[in-house]
């Protein structure tokens, strides 16, 4: 503004030192030209010419020295076999941000051949993100079934952009039965080896022990295996018995891993306007009867991060019920009546507005299963796509485990039960948790 005084720029220490060094270098050049005897100087133009050459050379050297030093340091780091995780990732210098899975992909690529490493790095650098800003539901026909969207309006008007739609018979009975059968077989085959149990904190582990009537068992962070928040196989086996396997079961498959993934993705794009490039993995989750009975009657879920700044977040959720539930197991939104769970029925809702901001009103409840079993298929679509979206990530080496051994994650005790997974991610690694904010 006109009434404000302009702030005087005060050079930093490093800037003053650089200025001082350049000034000394220039003074030295002038001193050298002045010390030349008159018999060696044909005329004044030669003196000026030589001085200019020296000055230009000195300035170029000063400008190039930082780049030369960086190159030397990079070569030294590449020769180090014991570099830290941030050096192992060797994330290219770019204005692009990297997701959790991209970090894992880059780390894994550095452990393979140079040729594969170059291929992955090139694909990552050449990747162009796509944006999905809204849902666009419309009527479709599938195998003679007419499938129109039905909007579930809130009982009271609000300023939220969240919209919820229902699609009856989005999946056929045969499709639902096939997905449940594949899920159950996968869980059965993986259950030959007891899972490893992981927790978000030692406090959560203590709360679960208290709920199981084992509060006399004293645990500390030392009970976690080195570098993780998971307990070892022996303790996991004991906890499994104490907790009575009171958890849900999730299996995942990725685009291209089976024919159904393409069929489902195409149907979703036609009926809901959600493009394949912004879709993540497919997740089937089963809730046995009574899961969650030791907790509050519902589990609050937010599929995006409120007040988050990263647009690589879940803009929309697609959920399909694979089986009728006799009692309980509903998905409920504030002031909206979704009715009973029904086999083949799909729900669609947006979690973010068109500007990429998470909508607090997208929070919903997953009520406990009172009678029967609940099976659902879910897929999340992201506002901004990223390289590793929809790709199965490499599994971490920690904790030490048998081939094919599953995990059970018990996080946020007050918000729900534990969950069994057929794949491993990096959330249980202490080093990853410590560095992920700076690595991503």
Which letter does DSSP use for residue 195 in this model?
P
pLDDT at 235 exceeding the cut of 70: yes
Q: What is the mean pLDDT of the chain?
A: 80
The whole-number pLDDT of residue 175 equals: 98
The whole-number pLDDT of residue 84 equals: 37
Q: Which residue has the higher pLDDT, 192 or 105?
A: 192
Strand segments (E) across 223-329: 247-253, 279-287, 298-301, 314-321, 327-328
CA-CA distance, 344 to 1, in Å (whole number)?
63
CB 439 within 8 A of CB 103: yes
Angstrom distances, CA of residue 310 to CA of 43, 71, 279, 352:
66, 32, 17, 12
The mean pLDDT value for 202-218 works out to 94
CA-CA distance, 121 to 130, in Å (whole number)?
19
CB 56 within 8 A of CB 71: no
CB 171 within 8 A of CB 322: yes
pLDDT at 361 exceeding the cut of 60: yes
Strand segments (E) across 113-163: 140-142, 145-147, 150-151
Angle at 216 between CA 213 and CA 220, to 5 degrees: 115
Q: What is the pLDDT of residues 311-354, one digit of tens each?
A: 999 999 999 999 999 998 888 887 787 778 999 999 999 999 99
Helix (H, G, I), strand (E, B), or coil: what is residue 411?
Answer: coil
Question: Would you place residue 51 in the very low, low, confident or very high pLDDT band (cuts 50, 70, 90)?
Answer: low
Structural Rg of the chain based on CA atoms: 30
Angstrom distances, CA of residue 201 to CA of 13, 305, 415, 428, 437:
44, 21, 14, 10, 19
The whole-number pLDDT of residue 386 equals: 94
The whole-number pLDDT of residue 366 equals: 81
The whole-number pLDDT of residue 246 equals: 86
| Residue 178 CB partners (closer than 8 Å, separation 6+) | 260
Nearest to 428 by CA among 195, 210, 190: 195
Q: What is the pLDDT of residues 90-125, one digit of tens each?
A: 334 444 555 555 565 555 555 555 677 777 778 888
Angstrom distances, CA of residue 88 to CA of 35, 75, 162:
53, 13, 42
The whole-number pLDDT of residue 12 equals: 39
CB 187 within 8 A of CB 249: yes
The mean pLDDT value for 218-243 works out to 96
Other C-beta atoms lying within 10 Å of the C-beta of residue 118: 11
The whole-number pLDDT of residue 67 equals: 57
| Residue 304 CB partners (closer than 8 Å, separation 6+) | 313, 314, 315, 351, 352, 358, 359, 362
Q: How far is residue 49 CA from its own chain's centroid?
A: 60
Classify each residue of 28-63 as buried b or exposed e, where b means 16 or more C-beta atoms within 10 Å of its C-beta.
ebeeeeeeeeeeeeeeeeeeeeebeebeeebeeeee
Q: Which residue has the higher pLDDT, 29 or 96?
A: 96
CA-CA distance, 279 to 316, in Å (whole number)?
9
HSE-up (13 A, CA, CB side) for residue 192: 7
Angstrom distances, CA of residue 282 to CA of 200, 252, 263, 389, 412:
24, 6, 12, 12, 23
Question: Would you place residue 81 in the very low, low, confident or very high pLDDT band (cuts 50, 70, 90)?
Answer: very low
The whole-number pLDDT of residue 275 equals: 98
Parse the chain into domains and list their residue ranges.
86-126, 140-439
Q: What is the pLDDT of residues 273-315, one digit of tens each?
A: 999 999 999 999 999 887 644 333 456 788 999 999 999 999 9
Q: Which residue has the higher pLDDT, 27 or 426?
A: 426
Helix (H) or strand (E) holding 165: strand 164-167
Prediction pTM value: 0.74
Token duo for residue 391: 């790709």
The mean pLDDT value for 364-388 works out to 93
The whole-number pLDDT of residue 358 equals: 97
Q: How far is residue 361 CA from its own chain's centroid?
A: 22
- Quickly name the fold that domain 140-439 has: Jelly Rolls (2.60.120)
The mean pLDDT value for 401-425 works out to 89
| Identity of the highest mean pLDDT range in 20-24, 50-54, 190-194, 363-367 | 190-194
CA-CA distance, 300 to 296, in Å (whole number)?
10
Q: What percent of the chain has pLDDT over 90?
A: 57
């Amino acid at each position: 503004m006109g009434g404000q005084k302009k702030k005087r720029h005060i050079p930093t220490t490093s800037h003053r030192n650089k200025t001082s060094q350049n000034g000394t270098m220039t003074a030295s050049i002038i001193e050298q030209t002045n010390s030349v005897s008159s018999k060696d100087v044909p005329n004044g133009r030669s003196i000026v010419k030589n001085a200019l050459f020296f000055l230009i050379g000195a300035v170029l050297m000063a400008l190039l020295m930082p780049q030369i030093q960086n190159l030397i340091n990079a070569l030294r780091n590449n020769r180090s076999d014991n570099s830290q995780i941030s050096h192992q990732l060797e994330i290219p210098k770019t204005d692009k941000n990297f997701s959790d899975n991209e970090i894992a992909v880059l780390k894994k690529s550095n452990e393979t051949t140079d040729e594969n490493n170059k291929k992955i790095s090139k694909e990552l650098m050449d990747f162009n993100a796509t944006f999905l800003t809204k849902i666009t539901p419309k009527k479709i026909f599938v195998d003679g079934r007419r499938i129109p969207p039905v909007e579930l309006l809130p009982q009271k008007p609000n300023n939220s952009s969240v919209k919820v739609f229902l699609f009856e018979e989005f999946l056929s009975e045969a499709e639902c039965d096939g997905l449940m059968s594949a899920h159950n077989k996968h869980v059965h085959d993986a259950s030959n080896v007891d899972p490893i149990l992981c927790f978000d904190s030692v406090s959560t582990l203590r709360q679960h022990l208290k709920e199981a009537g084992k509060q006399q068992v004293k645990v500390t962070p030392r009970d976690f295996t080195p570098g993780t928040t998971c307990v070892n196989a022996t303790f996991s086996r004991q906890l499994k018995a104490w907790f009575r396997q009171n958890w849900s079961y999730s299996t995942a498959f990725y685009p291209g891993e089976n024919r159904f993934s393409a069929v489902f993705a195409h149907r979703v794009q036609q009926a809901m306007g959600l493009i394949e490039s912004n879709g993540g993995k497919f997740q089937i989750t089963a809730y046995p009867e009574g899961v969650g009975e030791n907790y509050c009657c519902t589990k609050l879920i937010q599929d995006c991060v409120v007040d988050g700044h990263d647009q690589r977040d879940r803009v929309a959720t697609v959920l399909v019920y694979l089986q009728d539930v006799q009692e309980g197991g509903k998905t409920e939104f504030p002031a909206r009546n979704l009715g009973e769970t029904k086999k083949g029925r799909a729900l669609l809702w947006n979690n973010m507005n068109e500007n990429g901001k998470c909508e607090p009103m997208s929070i919903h409840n997953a009520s406990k299963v009172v009678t029967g079993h609940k099976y659902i298929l879910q897929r999340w679509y992201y506002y901004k796509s990223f390289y590793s979206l929809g790709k199965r990530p490499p599994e971490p080496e920690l904790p030490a485990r048998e081939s094919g051994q599953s995990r059970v994650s018990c996080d946020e005790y007050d918000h729900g039960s534990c969950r069994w997974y057929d794949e491993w991610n990096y959330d249980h690694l202490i080093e990853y948790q410590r560095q992920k904010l700076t690595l991503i």
